Amino acid sequence: MRVGIVGGGVAGLTTAWLLAGTHDVVVLEARGRLGGNVRDADVEIDGAELRIDAGAQHISPELFPRFARLLELLELDGDLIPAPQSFTLAVEGMPRPLVVTPHTRADGWPREIVADGPEGAAFVAFVTRAVELEAQDASWEIPLADVVEAIPATTEQREQLMYAACAALVGCRVEEAPSLSARGATALLARVPPGTAPDEAPLWRNLPGGLGRVVVALADAVPNGDARVGAPVAQIRAEGTGFALRDGAGGAHQVDHVVLALPPLAAAELLDPLAGSGDLVDALRAFRYAPVEIGIHREPLFMPARRAHWSTYNISVHDGWSDVTIWLGPTHGVDLFKSWIANRSVPDDELLAREAFEHLCVTPAAVRARRTIAPRQAQGGISFAGHHLVDVESQESAVASAVEVARRLAPASPRLDALLEGRAVRG
C-alpha cells in the first residue's frame, strides 16, 4: 500500500526507512529541511569550519539500543567519539557549586569534586530514589512532588537540587517541576550507567559532523527520493478506502494509510475535522511543551567561575529557572559552549548560532494520553509516531515510536528485523 508520512523528523524518516521495500512511502515535511530537532550549526573556530549539533547531541549506546543499532545499520557507528557526562549544579550568587561530579582522570586541569556535605547527601538520596522507582517499574502517573517531598531534605535542597535538576532537563520553570511525572523527570538520572571507575564520568558518544548525518542517510534510503520539504499538510480527507493529503505547496497525495509523525498539537489540528477522532484529538492536546532557545558561543558566559568546577553538563539555578550550558570542549577539542538562553541576557555578537526548540514535559496527563493513543494505532488507517509517545524525549524514543508503527504495518520488514536483532530494548 501507499503510506503518507506527515513529518520529516527522526521518527518520520525512521518510519519511512522501516516501511520502504514493503510499502510505497512519501514523507511530507512542512519546513524547508528534514530532521526535526536534529539541527546542525556551522561555526568558524580559529579559521576552521566546525559542524556541531545545535539540538539533540549526546548518544548512549547502552541507554539508546535501538538508535545505536540504527547507526550501525547506517554504517555511522564507527565514527562515534567519547563524551564524558560530568555534571555541575550551581546556584547563581553562591560561591561554590552544590554538586560537581568526576570528569575523567585525564582532565588536564585541577578539578574539585563537590559531592560531600548535606547537599551532596540530599542529591545522592534523590538519585537513589529515582533508581528505586526505575527498578520497581513504578507508575509514570506519580507526580515528581510525591517523590521529592518524601525525601528527608530541606526546602532549599528540594528546590535547588531536585526540582532544579529535573526542570533543566525539559526547560520548564523550577516551580513547574513538581507537576512532572516522577519517572519521566528522573529517567535519565536513574539509568545513566556508572563510569568505569569512581573517578570517571559515564561515557556517552557524539557523532562527528552532527546527527544531521543520520537524517541524510535515512532520507537517502527513501525510495525515489520521495521525502519532500516545504510541503506542509493542510488537510487530511477521507476518500474511498484511503485518504487524500493536500499540502501547502499545492500537491495532492492519495494514500492508503497516514502516519502522523509530527508534534502532537499539529497532529490534533489535522485530525480534528475527521469523524470519530474526538478522543484522539483530546489526548494529543494533553501534551505540554516548554519553549527553549539555544545559543552557541565561544566565551564561557555561564560556566562556573573556577575551571576546576567545569563539567560537560552545567546547570545554573537563577530567577526561578534552571538553565543548562553544555561545554563542547571535551568532544570538539576547543572551548565552545551550547547554552539555554531564553531566560538569560546574551549580546547578539557573542552568539555564533541560535536555534529555538520546544521540549516535551512528561506529565501524568501526557502518560494518560499515551494510553489513549496506543490502542488506536493503525485503526482507521491512521498511525502515530514521535518522541512524545514513548518514554522520555530522545533519539531513542523517536526510533522506538517508528518501530511500533512498523510492527503493525510491516511486521515482516527486513529492516525492522535487522533493527531489533540481538538487542534488549525498552518498551
pLDDT tens profile 328-338: 998 888 899 99
The set of cell numbers assigned to 410 is 510491516
Minimal CA–CA distance to 50: which of 334, 412, 405? 334
Say how far apart CA 304 and CA 302 lie, in whole Å: 7
Q: How confident is the model at residue 225 (pLDDT cuts 50, 70, 90)?
A: low
Output the CA angle 364-370-371, nearest 5 degrees. 95
- Residue (of 47, 89, 93) closest to 334 by Cα position: 47
Distances (CA, A) of 178 to 132, 284, 299, 316, 425: 18, 22, 33, 18, 29
Q: In this structure, are residues 47 and 22 in contact, taking their beta carbons and an 8 Å threshold?
A: no
Give the count of beta carbons closer than 10 Å to the beta carbon of residue 114: 18
The predicted pLDDT at position 417 comes to 95
Closest CA to 113 of 387, 338, 310, 303: 310
Mind listing the pLDDT tens digit for each residue in 77-89?
988 999 999 999 9
Domain boundaries, the chain: 2-46+53-77+210-284+367-420, 82-206+299-335
CATH number of 2-46+53-77+210-284+367-420: 3.50.50.60
SS3 (DSSP) at 142:
coil
Q: Residue 197: pLDDT above 90?
A: no
| Over residues 370-395, mean pLDDT | 97
Q: Which three cell numbers stand for residue 170?
A: 525539559
Dist CA 182 CA 359 (whole Å)? 17
Mean local confidence (pLDDT), 378-397: 96
List pLDDT tens digits, range 304-331.
Answer: 999 999 999 999 999 999 999 999 998 8
The closest of 312, 300, 302, 339 to 102, measured between CA atoms, is 312
User: Residue 360's closest CA among 134, 187, 127?
Assistant: 187
pTM: 0.94
d(CA 407, CA 385): 12
The mean of the pLDDT values for the chain is 93
HSE-up of 387 (CA within 13 Å, CB side)?
A: 25
Percent of the chain residues past pLDDT 90, beyond the cut: 84
**Grid coordinates given for 357:** 526548540
Per-residue pLDDT, averaged over 34-38, amounts to: 95
